[in-house]
Every structure is written in C-alpha cells, then in structure tokens.
C-alpha cells in the first residue's frame, strides 16, 4: 500500500506567476485535506474534500487559491498571482471516513516565491 | 475554536534516556481525539500516537506513551530509551469529531524540536 504522494516536492516561482500542486492520496481514502505550514510553525488547515466534493474551506484560503478533486481521486491546489507571503510548505493528508479517523500526510510541496 | 500550545520550542536528550514533551489544549468539546505527529528533518509527517478523549487509559506505542489528563487539558508525550532516529519536530494536534460529512481537520501546536544526542 503506497502512501500519500505529492508533486512537485519543491517549486520556485516569481511573484505574480501561477502554480499548481498535485496530491495523490492513499487509494481507498475518501477524505483529503490540504494544510499549509510556514517555517517553524505547525500546519494550518486550508480545505477539505470528501470524495469529489469540496466541503470546507478555511479563511486562510483566499480567492487566489482554488482546489479540485475530480472523480474523488487525486487533488490539485492552484495558487494564482503568487505573492511572497505564499511561500510555505503545502501538505496533503488523506483518511478514511470512519469512527477513528487518522490522517496520513504526504511529503509536502515546498513553495518559494521570489 | 480550539487552541493547542506546546511550551517547549526545543529540547534535547541523551541517547537511551527518557524525555517528556508537553502539550496543553483549550476546548469546550467533549468528543475529540489527540495526536502526536513526528516530522523528521526534510521528511514527511508521521503519526506517533493517538488518544481518544473518551478513553481513560493512556495510549502506548512501543517506546512512546502519553499522559492524558482530560480535566487539566494536558497531553504529554514520553519517549523512553531515546534513539538518534527520534530527532525531529514533534507536533501535538487536536481533532474535534464531527458528524456526517463534516471534515475532521487537525489543529496543531507550534511544535517542539527534539534533538537526541549520542
């Protein structure tokens, strides 16, 4: 059973450019979460999918951010018109909806906006 | 809203010794889980241990155990027989359990950087 994977692992971009990250969850997991982690801090929740439906979004998710999970499989997180403050690690986690939910994290995508 | 506080930004321990990492949380909820995650340098977040709030017995996983004090809202992690591979950031996290399709997102503390010295 493969774990959660994310691509790319590192991304350097110039301010104003658009970037897209991909997350592939554990195959049978129907729940998917995106978190953002800035240097020296704990991760913060961004958004949540159950299957293909995006059911919750944090106030941290500005209108420059959009996430999708077509067909309830992989997910993408796009940031438009990147700003230097978007520099962070973007983490994806997946879980199986059940009474004892445990989230399994991917390796993250580290974004640097110059 | 829930908050999680880890008051020890950095700690160090000698190999084979025991170390305890502190975590306190604030919530008005009664149905929740608590977690400790480990994040080694440049590597992904790994679950260390989980505690269900309704269970009075403290969770244990091999060398890792917790001291869960529900009334005091305290959830410390004890690592026994520390190994060099335990060197990592450790995050305490709170999960409020919600019904139906609502997401069970994690609220993390700021982390404790643990260094195990040979």
pLDDT tens string A80-92: 999 999 999 999 9
Among B6, B45, B50, B88, the strongest candidate for a mutation testing the A interface, having the largest count of A CBs within 10 A, is B45
Nearest by CB to residue A45, choosing from B35, B45, B105, is: B105
**pLDDT (0 to 100) of residue A71:** 86
The confidence score (pLDDT) of residue A96 equals 86
- Is A95 at the interface with chain B, CB within 8 A? yes
pLDDT at B41 (0 to 100) = 86
| Count of CA atoms in the C-beta half-sphere (13 A) of A57 | 13
Residues of chain A found within 8 Å of residue B34, distances taken between Cβ atoms: none
DSSP string, B18-77: -EEE--EEE-S-SSEEEEEEEE-TTS--EEEEEEETT--SPPEETTEEEEEETTTTEEEE
Chain A touched by B8 (CB under 8 Å): no
At residue B115 the predicted structure's pLDDT band, cuts being 50, 70 and 90, is very high
* Ranges of residues in chain A whose predicted pLDDT is under 70: 1, 98-100
B49-103 tens-digit pLDDT: 999 999 989 999 999 999 999 999 999 999 999 999 999 999 999 999 887 777 8
Return the exposure string of B52-63: e unless at least 16 CB atoms fall within 10 Å of the residue's CB, then b: bbeeeeebeeee
pLDDT at position B98: 82
Of B13, B10, B64, the C-alpha closest to B35 is B64
The CA distance from B108 to the nearest CA of chain A, in Å, is 5
pLDDT digits (tens, 9 = 90+) for B6-26: 999 999 999 999 999 999 999
Do residues B74 and B20 touch, judged by C-beta distance below 8 A? no
pLDDT of the residue at A60 = 85
CB-based contact A36:A43 (threshold 8 Å): yes
Average pLDDT over residues B18-35: 95
Q: Do B108 and A56 touch (CB under 8 A)?
A: no
Q: What is the pLDDT of residue A1?
A: 53
Say whether residue B84 is in contact with chain A using an 8 A CB cutoff: no
What's the pLDDT score for residue B62? 96
Does the beta carbon of B102 lie under 8 angstroms from any beta carbon of chain A?
yes
**Residue A27 token pair:** 């195959």
């Amino acid at each position: 059973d493969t774990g959660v994977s994310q691509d790319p692992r590192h991304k350097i971009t110039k301010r104003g450019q658009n970037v897209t990250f991909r997350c592939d969850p554990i195959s049978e997991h129907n729940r998917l979460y995106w978190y953002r982690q800035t240097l020296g801090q704990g991760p913060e929740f961004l958004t949540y999918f159950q299957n293909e439906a995006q059911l919750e979004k944090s106030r941290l998710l500005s209108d420059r951010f959009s996430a999708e999970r077509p067909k309830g499989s992989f997910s993408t997180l796009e940031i438009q018109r990147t700003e230097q403050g978007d520099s962070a690690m973007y983490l994806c986690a997946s879980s199986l909806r059940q009474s004892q939910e445990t989230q399994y994290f991917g390796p993250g995508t580290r974004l640097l906006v110059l | 809203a829930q908050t999680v506080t880890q008051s020890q930004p950095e700690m160090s321990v000698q190999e084979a010794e025991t170390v305890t990492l502190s975590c306190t949380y604030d919530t008005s909820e009664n149905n929740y889980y608590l977690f400790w995650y480990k994040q080694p340098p440049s590597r992904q977040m790994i679950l260390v241990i989980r505690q269900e709030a309704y269970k009075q017995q403290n969770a244990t996983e091999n060398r890792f155990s917790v001291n869960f004090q529900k009334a005091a809202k305290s959830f410390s992690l004890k690592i026994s027989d520390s190994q060099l591979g335990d060197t990592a950031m450790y995050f305490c996290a709170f999960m409020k359990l919600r019904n139906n399709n609502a997401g069970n997102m994690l609220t993390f503390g700021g982390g404790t950087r643990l260094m195990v010295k040979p």
